[in-house]
Chains A and B, each alone.
Chain A
Amino acid sequence: MIQKLLSTTAFRLSLIYALLFSLIAAIALGIAYWLAAQLIYQQIDERLQLETNVLLSQYYSGNFTDLSRMISHRNSKDVTQFFIYALINRQQHDFFSDLPTASESEQHPHQATFATLPLQMITHDLPVNKQTLDTRVLLTPLPAHYQLLVGTDMSEAEKLLEHIASILLIAVLIIMTAALLGGWLMGQSVLKRVDRIHRTAKEIIEGDLNQRMPLQAREDEFNRLAKVVNEMLARLQTVMMSMRDVTNNLAHDLRNPLNRLHHRLEALRYLPPNSDKQQQELDNAVNDVSSLIATFNAILNIAQIESSVQRDCWEDIDMTHMIHELGELYTLVAEEKKISFHVYSEKHLILHADRQLIAQTITNLLDNAVKYTPAGGKIRLEAYYQSTHPSAEVIINVCDSGIGIPEADYQRVFERFTRLDTVRNTAGNGLGLSLVKAVMDLHQAKISLSDNQPGLCVKLSFFPIEIKSLEKNK
């Protein structure tokens, strides 16, 4: 689990960000600390200057003895416990020569100088634990080889700074922990979703194509990815189902005609050779095979159309021309059956599609119309633009006054080998409308059936085209 978490991108990213963020925070707080220290030292120096000034004014207004008395008074009082005052003969101990910044004192040996010195250097009268403490002093040279030393204990200031430093360190630690924890939680939630997708994918691999990636209400990257994968799965499933259907259909629906053929051929063995009867049975056998081949080809054709995505052979079809051509092709059939046949097409009707498939679709619909419309009936083939502002769609209608299809069967007729009970005795393989549906799906077009009272109306509506581009065509 930890291993997995460590290897997630989200966690690694948040780890890097946590470290970076902590570093920046540490730098910022370090600067704050430095500024605070500067301020504190500055204040100490100002206090020292102030104390020295007070003493010096006493010295200049009075005399050396007054100063000396005042220093011993101050040293004896507890009120100024942080301050150390001394008036020392330079011959006895020249503090100026002790200064660590030797250059400073050399350049200005007679000027007042700030310095930080160990406390033990100034006084030996101290408890051992305090002797190493630093003292901030202001040395002021006085005439007659005297020097005035005002110093203060820095331990309070240092304690304060230490306190500040530890607070800042804790702050940095808190920031870092929070960032790491956030990263961990983030990685965890990412991991959880990836795990769910992983599990679903595993189930799909094991054969359950009905599984879909889990979606969430939030529209984030994962959701978008899951949606695309789901679409892909749906498409795959359609293709798989189509393949499975083809296999099933071939197995089930070709068995009967094959069986019939088998019987016929067996019977042929026992017929007298070169007899009329034998000839007739042979013809029947050939016809059986022909219709088998036709069915076989039709199934393959539908399967190919269903799994096809290729649009290479799509072209701008002059539908006006095609409608009239197909109309002409069927006029004679209709005439022969004493059916009145009306063909209408709007002018300049252009459809971008596969010419052969569209023609086959319309042919199939006309085949059905002719087949199921009794003598004296009517068939109408029409094509036109239907405006759905700002675009227009190409509509093709094939309507007849035949036996029609009960509304309950509207969906079922598109399935393969569906033969409604009402037409079971007529010729046909039940694949015509399946092909129409497949072609419509390929073209992302809609097919709708309606009652023509009496008869059936099939309406094909193709994708909308912008009206502007239509007018350009005209």
Chain B
Amino acid sequence: MHVLLVEDDHDTATFIRNGMSQSGHHVDLADNGKDGLHLAMTEDYDVLVIDRMLPERDGLSIVRTLRQLKITTPVLILSALGEVEHRVEGLQAGGDDYLVKPYAFTELLARLQALIRRNHPEQTQTILQVRDLKMDLVKHQVTRAGKVIELLPREFTLLEVLMRHAGEVVTRTMLLEKVWDYHFDPQTNIINVHISRLRSKVDKGFHISLLNTVRGAGYILHDPEAS
């Protein structure tokens, strides 16, 4: 994917660029608001990462300007301001997601992937599939290799989120947000237990496990033999 990063801290920007390159993404850098806005208006990006506090022009005003120009590229706002009202402010300005510093790189990457996915919606899709695991959103039914898997409502939502982000890392925080709508980091590993339970239903008795834990990052649902 093609990412524009508007961030005035040079080291942070370089780290993110290197990290993204290693994951096979291309990153353009801008270290002030003016250049950032110019690049965002002239180039075609999959996603924009914009710091809130920038020299020349602040992040929120960039987002507002872009939205006024009907440029709908998804935007992730980075900020040191973590209060709820700041988050709301960022989203109201036209941001699609909001990440508070300090954050882990894996969290950033996972959220960016989710944003890009969101920008290419598969609304007509009624069946999600990863290898032999199928989710029928209309019938509300999950099967693996043709065998029906009984899931509780919450487990169904959890699997749906993972399947929608198939092939991408989904962090614990993202899951708590998307499945339970709580915006904080749980202290103990409660999400882990739910994933284990889900995994035991989805992967148990099969050779290939589709739902895996990515150490220090989160979880990924994918076909390990496909890539």
Contacts and interface: CB of A to CB of B under 8 A. Distances in A.
The reply to whether chain A is a binding partner of chain B is yes
Interface of A: 283, 286-287, 289-290, 293-294, 296-297, 300-301, 304, 308, 310, 312-313, 325, 328-330, 332-333, 336, 354, 356, 359-360, 363-364, 367, 370-371, 428, 432
Contacts of A329: 180, 190, 194
Contacts of A356: 84, 182-184
Interface in B153-206: 154, 180, 182-190, 193-194, 196-197
B187 A364 contact: yes
Contacts of A325: 180
Contacts of A333: 188-190, 193
A325 B82 CA distance: 25
B122 interface: no
Contacts of A367: 186-188, 190
Secondary structure type dominating chain B contacts:
loop
B184 A332 contact: no
Given A286-B216, A333-B190, A312 B85 contact: yes
A370 B190 CA distance: 10
Contacts of B104: 289-290, 293
Contacts, number: 66
Given A290-B216, A332-B197, A356-B183, A371 B188 contact: yes
20 contacts: A287-B216, A289-B104, A290-B104, A296-B102, A297-B102, A301-B82, A301-B184, A304-B82, A308-B83, A313-B84, A329-B180, A329-B190, A332-B190, A332-B197, A333-B188, A333-B193, A354-B84, A356-B182, A367-B186, A367-B187
B182 A360 contact: yes
Interface residues of B, number: 26
A301 B104 CA distance: 17
Contacts of B189: 333
Given A283-B215, A310-B85, A330 B190 contact: yes
Given A296-B102, A333-B189, 15 more contacts: A283-B215, A289-B104, A293-B102, A293-B103, A293-B104, A313-B85, A332-B193, A356-B84, A359-B182, A360-B182, A363-B187, A364-B187, A367-B186, A367-B188, A371-B188
A432 B187 contact: yes
B71 interface: no
A301 B196 CA distance: 30
The 9 closest A-B pairs by CB, nearest first: A332-B193, A367-B187, A293-B102, A360-B184, A367-B188, A333-B193, A359-B182, A313-B84, A333-B190
B208 interface: no
A325 to B, nearest CB: 7
Contacts of A354: 84
A363 B216 CA distance: 22
A370 B188 CA distance: 9
Q: Which of A293, A310, A312 has the most CB of B within 10 A?
A: A293
B82 A336 contact: no
Given A287-B216, A328-B154, A332-B197, A294 B85 contact: no
A283 B106 CA distance: 13
Nearest to A296: B102
B137 interface: no
Nearest to B189: A333
A359 B84 CA distance: 14
B185 A294 contact: yes
Contacts of B88: 313
B100 interface: yes
B83 A304 contact: yes
A310 B215 CA distance: 38
Contacts of B183: 356
A359 B154 CA distance: 17
Given A329-B190, A367-B187, A371-B188, A297 B182 contact: no
Given A287-B216, A297-B100, A332-B197, A428 B82 contact: no
Contact of B193 (A296, A336, A360, A371): A336
A293 B190 CA distance: 19
A363 B186 contact: yes
A370 B192 CA distance: 14
A294 B102 CA distance: 9
A411 B67 CA distance: 51
A300 B187 contact: no
A287 B154 CA distance: 29
A392 B127 CA distance: 49
B15 to A, nearest CB: 12
A254 B185 CA distance: 19
Contacts of B83: 304, 308
A422 to B, nearest CB: 18
A364 B190 CA distance: 11
A330 B190 CA distance: 7
A364 B188 CA distance: 9
A412 to B, nearest CB: 20
Contacts of B216: 283, 286-287, 290
A381 to B, nearest CB: 14
A438 to B, nearest CB: 13
Among B88, B154, B183, B193: residue with most chain A CB under 10 A? B193
Nearest to A304: B83
A102 B193 CA distance: 126
Contacts of B100: 297
Contacts of A330: 190
A335 to B, nearest CB: 8
Nearest to B193: A332
A413 to B, nearest CB: 15
Contacts of B196: 332
Contacts of A296: 102
Nearest to B154: A328
Interface string B59-89: 0000000000000000000000011110010
A328 B152 CA distance: 11
A5 B196 CA distance: 80
Contacts of A428: 187
